Structure formats: structure tokens, C-alpha cells
Structure 1
Amino acid sequence: MPGQFKRIFDGQSLVGWHAVPRRLAPIKPGGPQWDVTPERLAAIMAHTGRWTVEEGAICGRQEPAGSGLGAYLLSDEVYGDYELVFEAKPDWPADTGVVLRATDIGSQGFQVLMDHRKSGNIGGYYGNGIGGFHAINFALDVARDAAGQPTGLQLEDPATTIEPLTPLKRSLLSYAASGEDFLKTWHWGDWNEFRISIEGEVPVLSTTINGVKIAELDASTLPADLFDRQGVAALLGRRGRIALEVHDNDPIVGGDRWGYDAASRWRNLQIREF
């Protein structure tokens, strides 16, 4: 029988959570390490982000602002099969997400995307350090007013994309809402409720946003060249941490991945274990 929901954030402090650098992990278990200079590696390892509690919400930012260096905030506890409920409010642009069954370094696990930036997706999945699979059904951009200020989300024009939405990415989902359905339920500039579940040794993941089911992924159906079941099982095990992400910037997306002093916010985090 499922248990009762319990709070995993007290709304006042970061007790029960700890920050770690956004360490580079191989794309897949046993894969090659990233080719990074010692100077870049030292910079990455020196940054754990700026994590604060503001008006009852966890706020994650790059530290210092504009550094381009991200981080993770990890739960002290580990969890196996569960439903996670929270509200989120990311700035534009803020490339963020929640990693489930994350390892101690944060950058390995099943990520539920909150890529609130151009060519991003919200509610789909990415295989952080477990194959690099990208399971999404739509890509986003921002609408702007006459002064160039962002006014809301819209679907991306494929002709302008920096990360193409391919048939393969769409095919990996066992359920996919349309981009139009997502836009109808998303609250621009306000709080959005996420309900995320993960269940099974080779898990099934589901994402619901503001009461609308957005995506489902059955990891047992992923192609072998994208997902090594045995390798992932050995790396992650059946239980792992919950990781909140502040992404770093890169030469491809640059400041459009994480804006200067942008923040992502989470509140009312609760978990119900199966």
C-alpha cells in the first residue's frame, strides 16, 4: 500500500538538503570522461551554486551571477519508488530540472525536465549520465512584446531551433501530451504544480503538471544503444537522491540557457513512497 505524503522541505531552511558542484559525468555508464582542461575542472568543482530559502521556497542560482557554472541541491535521504509533488516557478531563461534516483554527485539519474528556455521542454525526460536519451514531444520558445520583453511561452519554430526535435525523441515516450495541451495548462510567471512518479527496477516515470498528464516514459522500452539496463542498474541501484538542478552555460546555448542572476524556485515538496 502507498504511504502517506510527507514533507521533504520545511519551508524555512535547507535542513535535509546539501549542495554539490555540477560535476561532469560520462554520458553513459562506463563511457569516456569529458575532455575538460584542469582549469575548467577546478572552476566546476569550486562552485556549488547559491541556494537560499525565500518566501517559503528553495531558490537556486548560479554563484556568482553570470559565472555560467551550475550546481545541484541533493536530498540527504534516498528514495526508491515514489510520487513527488511540488510547485515550481522558474525564471526565463532557466535550464533546470529534477533528477530522480540521483547518485551522490547529482549528475547521474533520470531527469524530469524543466528547461524553461529556448528549445527547452518541460515535463519530458533526459538520461543524465545514463545514456543521454532525450524523451520529449515539443520544444518551447518565448513570446515577446514590442519592447522585446518576454510575455509567455509558445511552441518553437523549428527553423530557429538550437536543439532539433527529432522523431526519435518523440518515439521514446509511452505517453505524450501535445505542446498545445501543455501551453493551455502552464502558468507563465506563476507557480505550477508537478506530480512526478517513478516506479520499478527499470522504471516507469510519469509527469503531471497542473492536473494534466504531460508525459510518461517506460525505461524498459528504450533502445539498447541509448540505455544499458545492466549498466544503469549497477550505477544507480534501486534507490537514490532527489537532485534540484541549476544548469551551467555552454558555447552552444550560452546565456540563453541560464540568464544573469536567474533563479528557479521550488516549494511545498512532498513525497509518498510506494
Structure 2
Amino acid sequence: MLSLLAAFALLAFSLPQDEPGYRALFDGTSLAGWVTRGGRYDGAARWSVEDGCIVGRQGEDGAGGLLYTERRFASFELRLEVWLDQPFDSGVFVRMAPEGKGAQVTLDWREGGEIGAIYSDGFLQHNTGGAARFRRDAWNDVRVRCTGFDMRLEVWLNGDELSDYTLPADSPGYAPSGLIGLQVHGERGDTGAARFRNVRVKELPLFGEEPFSVTAGGLLALTEHGQRLGWKPIFDGQSLDGWEIEGEPERYRAAEGVLAFLARGGGGHLATRADFGDFQLRLDFRPARMANSGVFLRAARDGSNPAFSGCELQILDDFDWERVTSTKLAPWQFTGSLYGAVPPGEAGTLRPIGPIGAWNTYEVLYRGKRLAVALNGRTLFDVDTHALTPESGAPFAQRAKRGFIGLQHHGSEGVEGEVVVEFRNVFVRAQ
């Protein structure tokens, strides 16, 4: 009979079949891409690579700790295989960041411990039956899906759904994104180890994949689930029905699922005929070289500047603007910024916009005074707008609480080609 360690050596390289969209977080030979500092629960646990597995053990004097990914994730599906000695207390952590709370999927393989509970400075959801599904002296397939601005955690163990928990709306103190962590709890007297292999991740839209299906050419269609959730298209793919035009109509072209803003004349915007207060919004945009555009939220219909009667999410050619115009952009002028108020990530350094010619996706939650925005699956900010001191425009507490959603045609000066910016897959969910 093979020894347990020999079994590890044979099994560690049984890689999963190809899974579209996933990428490996562990190379099987080193801890490249992993760190032991950067979250809220740093510690001195011992981490090593043995027989193609990440192995975690208690450090000196029973010290625990986490092994984190180097980069942050907001919305994703994580898959990995786990082998725990018994007794041992471990877990998978998500959105770990110094500035806010994350959450843990518990892997507490001790007498009375819970497998698959959700924990964050206290239990959010217990799972007293999860341990009965965990395999002793064997690999266990664990899948964790983390989505939403109001974090939703779904957990599967060996193919069976184990947990599904969503934070109450606007729960305070949680980080909008963070590191993924693997845990050695520590202070348990556990002499064994936790082993992890085949660790891979697939990044997801903040709103998840379930509301939409992808058709030919990257166009989205609502699923039955999306319809039940209340998502609705606000661009029909072929006309400007449902929109009010500010400016010359010939500047806009709608065909084959794409709304093009043409490089003709001066500025203007399109405004939804309906007004929105609390809502979720997702849309794709593709800017041309030297494009300047934006998305207006809760804009007033009083003829004032929509960027400041409501607010604006900036769209700009970040790559060429400063060079061509010989000007210096403020941090809150880059794509992804809340114009005049919030840069797109720390100190304006986070630039997840795709290259010129690529489609990009905005996902937005606007609820009360809370505004959360993601670009291409990465959360840029999640802020209390009333706590902001904007550098341009009135305080947000004085701005419209309800208004139109608008798409800006800032003008066409310097734009290369016929089109300034294109939009597609524009959906809203009123709340």
C-alpha cells in the first residue's frame, strides 16, 4: 500500500481538464505570486511547497497566518483542491485588505468545527452539516464564487452546493476588493498541515454571469434569471427609442447592437426618457483615439451641466491625451474616475481600461448616497458620496437624488476616424 506522502506525490500533478477563463494561481513548484503580508490577519505560519502542493503549518508557539495572492480580486470564482490533516483549522479568505473587512469560508476540520460556514469578525452564516461532506484522508474539491458590490459568497464542496450568503445591503466596513488568502488558523495545537493544489481563478463581472448570456459578436441577451431580477435593456440595439437627444441627431448611429457617437460637429448627449434613483447599471464602451466622453448618473433635466447636477463617470483616451494636448490630467479626469471627485483607484494609478480598439465594461451600483463602480471587473471605488469634497461641482448632498442616465458626446476635436466612442449592452436594474 502506498504511504500517504507517496500518494500526495502521485496525485499532486493530476491537473484538472481545461476550464475556459481560468488561470493558475499556483505553479506547482514555488510560492511565486503569493505573499504573507498585506491583509488583516498577517502571521508567522510556515508555508512551503511539497510534492506539488502548497503546505501550511503552524509556526513557532502555534503561530497562524495567511498566504495571500499578490494582487487583489473583486469578483471571481476560485477553484482548488484541499487536503486537511485532522484535526486542523483552515479556511479560504476573500477581499482581504487593510482598509476593510473581508470574509472567510471556514475549513475547520476539528471536532465540532464547521466546513463551509461564512465568517467575518464573527459568523455571518453557520454550516453545521458541511463537515459530513468533507472527505477524510483525501482531496476535496472546493469552489468559491465571490460576486457583487454587496458581497455574495457561494461555496461548493465536491460538486455539491454548500453555502450561499449575501451581505445585507450597504453593510459598513467591508473592502470592495482584496487579496485571496489561504489560512493556517494557529493557536489550536494542530500538529498536522493543510495542503492545497490546482489553485486557479476566473474573474467575473461584479453582477455575476447569470443575468446575461453572450450571443454572437459579444452582444448580451437577458436570461430568464436576469429578467426575474429586474434587469432591462435601455438600448434596443437598433434605434434611439427611449432616449432624448441633446444636440444634432446625425451625430448618433444605432445599428447591429452598437450605438456609435460620430465625429461630427460639437458636443451633446443622449438622456434616458425615464429617470432613475437607486439602480444598477452595466454597459460596454469602446473609445477611439483622443475620445472624450462619459456616463451621466442621476442628471437633472433643468438644462444645467449633467456632470454636476448629477455626476459623471469619465471616459477618455488615457493613453494619448496628455501627450497630444500637452496638458496634465488631474487624477479625477482619467477613465473610471468620478469626475471632479474620485480618481479610478488609489492615487489614480489603477488603469484597468483596455487598449484603444478594445471594449470595456462599466458596472455601477448607485443606492442612496452610496456609489460603487467597477471597470472591466475591477472595483475602482465604493464611496459615500456625501462624505466627499469634490474639486468641481456642488457637494453631492446638494445634487439630484433622481434623474436621467446619459451618454456624453463631448465633441470630436482631434479624434481619429469616423467614430468618437461606441456603446453596447446597456442594461439597468431599478431598485
* TM-score where L is the length of structure 1: 0.62
Question: Cα–Cα, structure 1 residues 258 and 273, in superposed 2: closer, same or farther, change >3 Å?
Answer: farther
Question: Cα–Cα, structure 1 residues 199 and 258, in superposed 2: closer, same or farther, change >3 Å?
Answer: farther
Distance 1:199 1:266 in 2: 23
| CA shift for structure 1 position 135 | 1.1
Question: Are 2:163 and 1:190 equivalent residues in the alignment?
Answer: no
| CA shift for structure 1 position 59 | 0.4
The 8 Å contact of residues 28 and 49 in structure 2, kept in 1 or not, is answered as: yes
Aligned residues: 186
- The letter for the 2-side match of 1:88 is V
Question: Cα–Cα, structure 1 residues 102 and 79, in superposed 2: closer, same or farther, change >3 Å?
Answer: same
The 8 Å contact of residues 21 and 48 in structure 1, kept in 2 or not, is answered as: no
| 3-state SS, counterpart of residue 73 of structure 1 | strand
| CA shift for structure 1 position 203 | 1.2
After superposition, the CA RMSD in angstroms is: 2.5
Distance 1:182 1:134 in 2: 17
Distance 1:258 1:203 in 2: 33
Question: Cα–Cα, structure 1 residues 217 and 9, in superposed 2: closer, same or farther, change >3 Å?
Answer: same
Question: Are 2:140 and 1:114 equivalent residues in the alignment?
Answer: no
| 3-state SS, counterpart of residue 168 of structure 2 | helix
| CA shift for structure 1 position 205 | 0.7
The 8 Å contact of residues 9 and 270 in structure 1, kept in 2 or not, is answered as: yes
Alignment counterpart, residue 247 of structure 1, candidates 179, 182, 185: 185
- The letter for the 2-side match of 1:195 is R
Alignment counterpart, residue 135 of structure 1, candidates 116, 125, 131: 125
| CA shift for structure 1 position 104 | 4.7
| 1:219 aligned residue | 167
| 3-state SS, counterpart of residue 230 of structure 1 | coil
Question: Cα–Cα, structure 1 residues 23 and 85, in superposed 2: closer, same or farther, change >3 Å?
Answer: closer
Question: Cα–Cα, structure 1 residues 230 and 63, in superposed 2: closer, same or farther, change >3 Å?
Answer: closer
Question: Are 2:91 and 1:97 equivalent residues in the alignment?
Answer: yes
Distance 1:231 1:104 in 2: 11
Alignment of structure 1 residues 155-174 onto 2, 5 Å: none
Distance 1:258 1:108 in 2: 27
Q: Larger relative CO (CA 8 A, sep 6+): 1 or 2?
A: 1
| CA shift for structure 1 position 207 | 0.5
Distance 1:83 1:259 in 2: 29
Question: Cα–Cα, structure 1 residues 208 and 190, in superposed 2: closer, same or farther, change >3 Å?
Answer: same
Distance 1:21 1:94 in 2: 24
Question: Are 2:197 and 1:267 equivalent residues in the alignment?
Answer: yes
Distance 1:263 1:90 in 2: 6
* TM-score where L is the length of structure 2: 0.40
- The letter for the 2-side match of 1:111 is Q
Indicate the percent of aligned positions where both proteins have the same amino acid: 34
The 8 Å contact of residues 21 and 70 in structure 1, kept in 2 or not, is answered as: no
Distance 2:38 2:111 in 1: 24
Question: Cα–Cα, structure 1 residues 182 and 264, in superposed 2: closer, same or farther, change >3 Å?
Answer: closer
- The letter for the 2-side match of 1:54 is E
Distance 1:135 1:77 in 2: 27
Distance 1:73 1:196 in 2: 17
Question: Cα–Cα, structure 1 residues 23 and 109, in superposed 2: closer, same or farther, change >3 Å?
Answer: closer
| CA shift for structure 1 position 231 | 2.5
- The letter for the 2-side match of 1:52 is S
Question: Cα–Cα, structure 1 residues 22 and 198, in superposed 2: closer, same or farther, change >3 Å?
Answer: closer
Cα deviation code 1:192-238 (max 9, x no counterpart):
000110100111110000001011101127xxxxxx71322xxx1x2
Cα deviation code 1:164-199 (max 9, x no counterpart):
xxxxxxxxxxxxxxx2x762x422111000011010
The 8 Å contact of residues 206 and 215 in structure 1, kept in 2 or not, is answered as: yes
Question: Are 2:218 and 1:201 equivalent residues in the alignment?
Answer: no
| CA shift for structure 1 position 137 | 2.9
The 8 Å contact of residues 115 and 127 in structure 2, kept in 1 or not, is answered as: no
- The letter for the 2-side match of 1:264 is A
The 8 Å contact of residues 95 and 180 in structure 2, kept in 1 or not, is answered as: yes
Structure 1: unaligned runs, 5 residues or longer: 25-44, 139-178, 222-227, 250-256
Question: Are 2:54 and 1:58 equivalent residues in the alignment?
Answer: yes
| 3-state SS, counterpart of residue 172 of structure 2 | helix
| 3-state SS, counterpart of residue 138 of structure 2 | coil
Cα deviation code 1:21-67 (max 9, x no counterpart):
9966xxxxxxxxxxxxxxxxxxxx8x522100011110011123xx1
The 8 Å contact of residues 125 and 136 in structure 1, kept in 2 or not, is answered as: yes
The 8 Å contact of residues 61 and 263 in structure 1, kept in 2 or not, is answered as: yes
| 1:230 aligned residue | 172
Distance 2:165 2:25 in 1: 25
Distance 1:267 1:22 in 2: 22
Question: Cα–Cα, structure 1 residues 86 and 258, in superposed 2: closer, same or farther, change >3 Å?
Answer: farther
The 8 Å contact of residues 38 and 97 in structure 2, kept in 1 or not, is answered as: no
Query: Which 4+ stretches in 1 moved above 2 angstroms?
Result: 20-24
Distance 1:96 1:200 in 2: 25
- The letter for the 2-side match of 1:200 is G
- The letter for the 2-side match of 1:240 is G
| 1:17 aligned residue | 34
Distance 1:190 1:104 in 2: 34
- The letter for the 1-side match of 2:145 is S
